[in-house]
């Protein structure tokens, strides 16, 4: 035991000596070759307002970056930076540009650093950014209700019908749930990885999304196994509601960000498309409890867990969009959805054991394929 402690302290001392030697002698100094400073800038968002454009930028290089000039549509323009001075790595700043932008027009912005490096950003459709007042919050809440709460409610209303079907039909709908969740898992992970392209390199976006997904999956899986949800439909329905709620929160973030940037016109047809796309989520939640007695309070709790996060997502995405945090959340949501897939699969396996020869395997495969097909088709219709 004493020997192990001595060896541990010797290793620490050696690491300290090596680090000090590298700092003092700097062996890489001879390879500098007077290279330009390693500076970079990420333009996370640009919003339009009555006083012009507001750009939210973040330092992305090892060296501080100083913005010296700003161009708008090819012309140099006055600007004010808050806070002033060079922008350090991962530090943020607001660039206020008093430019008379035109509604629904395209504008091109170019930021020049003191070393001559350029960073451009295009506003595809200039659109007045929403302000956080009561009217806007109420409108965003209505969007969240249309996207999350209403379709899940409609799906959960199919519970009386599902209670009339046989065991193999329940297997079909449980397998359909796996198909739905499988599509949501891929879609959520893809959304998170897409956001990493516009986040600072130091955040190691892709790796952080994948790590968040794996750690969330393992953490929730460890908790769920202690409660044995494969034999309790109520607990499984709760996990389903949580996983779907996390996905809907991410969906709300995307909608809010699109509204704040003016990149999407969320008309009535688009909202109807989202509602149809999420309709099956309500069916997925109630599928495990078709043979159990549940109270209205339980159904209301599941509805809140799955649907209300869409409202919070629209609020946060509209007013405080940050690509690295949003990407991280999508990773967490993907991990939670993956865990629910495992739990639903375990439930189907238990039903297979209980049914024995009466278990129809083709129902399980048909349900899985139907779930993916429904989600893909409704997503396709939304894009069209």
Spell out the per-residue pLDDT of the chain, length 384, in tens. 566 667 767 778 888 787 777 767 666 566 555 555 577 888 888 888 888 898 888 888 778 889 999 999 888 988 999 888 888 888 888 999 998 888 878 889 999 988 888 888 888 777 777 777 888 889 889 888 888 888 888 888 888 887 777 767 778 888 888 888 888 888 888 888 887 877 777 777 688 888 888 888 888 777 766 655 445 678 888 888 888 888 788 778 777 777 766 554 444 445 565 666 677 778 888 878 877 888 888 899 999 998 899 898 888 888 777 777 778 888 888 888 888 788 788 777 877 776 676 677 787 888 888 888 877 877 776 555
**How many angstroms from the chain centroid is the CA of residue 379?**
17
Phi-psi domain of 119 (left: phi exceeds 0; alpha: psi -120 through 50; beta: other): beta
Q: Give the domain-ending residue among 123, 151, 175.
A: 123
Sequence length of the chain is: 384
Same domain, 95 and 67: yes
Q: Give the domain-ending residue among 89, 123, 157.
A: 123
φ/ψ of 112, rounded to 5, equals -110, 130
Same domain, 170 and 108: no
User: Which one, of 185, 222, 169, lies nearest residue 366 by Cα?
Assistant: 169
User: Which one, of 50, 250, 195, 199, lies nearest residue 130 by Cα?
Assistant: 50
User: Which one, of 218, 236, 219, lies nearest residue 227 by Cα?
Assistant: 236
**Tally of structural domains, the chain:** 2
Question: Residue 249 domain-assigned?
Answer: yes
Same domain, 139 and 104: no
Same domain, 89 and 166: no
The CATH number of the domain where 76 resides is what?
Answer: 2.60.40
Question: Residue 301 domain-assigned?
Answer: yes
Same domain, 220 and 87: no
Question: Residue 277 domain-assigned?
Answer: yes
Question: Residue 229 domain-assigned?
Answer: yes
Same domain, 54 and 184: no
Same domain, 69 and 211: no
In sequence order, the 6+-apart residues with CB closer than 8 A to the CB of 317 are 252, 253, 254, 255, 256, 257, 259, 260, 326
Same domain, 300 and 377: yes
Question: Residue 222 domain-assigned?
Answer: yes
Question: Residue 32 domain-assigned?
Answer: no
Structure letter (DSSP) for residue 149: I
CA dist 66 and 115 (Å) reads 8
Enter the pTM of the model: 0.69
Same domain, 256 and 110: no
Same domain, 148 and 186: yes
Residue 270, helix vs strand vs coil? helix
Give the structural domain span for 214.
Answer: 134-383
Same domain, 103 and 147: no
Question: Residue 24 domain-assigned?
Answer: no
Same domain, 93 and 212: no
In sequence order, the 6+-apart residues with CB closer than 8 A to the CB of 369 are 179
């Amino acid at each position: 035991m004493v020997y192990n402690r001595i060896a541990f302290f010797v290793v620490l001392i050696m690491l300290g000596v090596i680090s000090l030697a590298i700092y003092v002698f700097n062996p890489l100094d001879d390879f500098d070759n007077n290279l330009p400073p390693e500076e970079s800038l990420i333009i996370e968002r640009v919003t339009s307002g009555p006083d012009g454009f507001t750009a939210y930028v973040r330092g992305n290089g090892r060296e501080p970056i100083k913005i010296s000039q700003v161009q708008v549509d090819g012309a140099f323009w006055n600007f004010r930076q808050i806070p002033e001075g060079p922008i350090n790595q991962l530090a943020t700043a607001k660039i206020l540009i008093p430019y008379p932008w035109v509604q629904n027009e395209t504008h091109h912005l170019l930021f020049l650093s003191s070393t001559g490096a350029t960073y451009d950003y295009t506003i595809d459709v200039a659109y007045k950014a929403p302000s956080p007042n009561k009217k806007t919050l109420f409108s965003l809440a209505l969007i969240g209700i249309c996207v999350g709460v209403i379709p899940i409610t409609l799906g959960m209303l199919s519970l009386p019908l599902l209670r009339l079907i046989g065991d193999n039909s329940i297997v079909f709908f449980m397998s359909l749930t796996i198909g739905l969740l499988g599509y949501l898992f891929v879609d959520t992970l893809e959304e998170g990885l897409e956001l990493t392209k516009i986040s600072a390199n130091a955040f190691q976006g892709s790796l952080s999304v994948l790590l968040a997904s794996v750690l969330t999956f393992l953490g929730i899986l460890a908790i769920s196994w202690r409660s044995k949800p494969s034999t309790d439909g109520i607990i499984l329905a709760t996990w389903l509601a949580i996983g779907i709620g996390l996905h809907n929160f991410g969906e709300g973030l995307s909608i809010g960000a699109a509204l704040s940037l003016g990149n999407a016109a969320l008309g009535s047809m688009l909202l109807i498309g989202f509602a149809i796309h999420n309709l099956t989520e309500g069916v997925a939640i109630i599928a495990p409890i078709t043979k159990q007695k549940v109270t209205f309070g339980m159904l209301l709790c599941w509805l809140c867990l799955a649907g209300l996060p869409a409202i919070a997502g629209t609020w946060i995405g509209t007013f405080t969009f940050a690509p690295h945090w949003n990407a991280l959340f999508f990773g967490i949501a993907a991990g939670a959805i993956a865990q629910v897939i495992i739990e639903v699969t375990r439930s189907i396996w238990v039903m297979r054991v209980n049914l024995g020869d009466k278990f129809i395997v083709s129902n399980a495969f048909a349900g899985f394929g139907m779930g993916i097909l429904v989600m893909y088709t409704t997503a396709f219709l939304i894009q069209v």
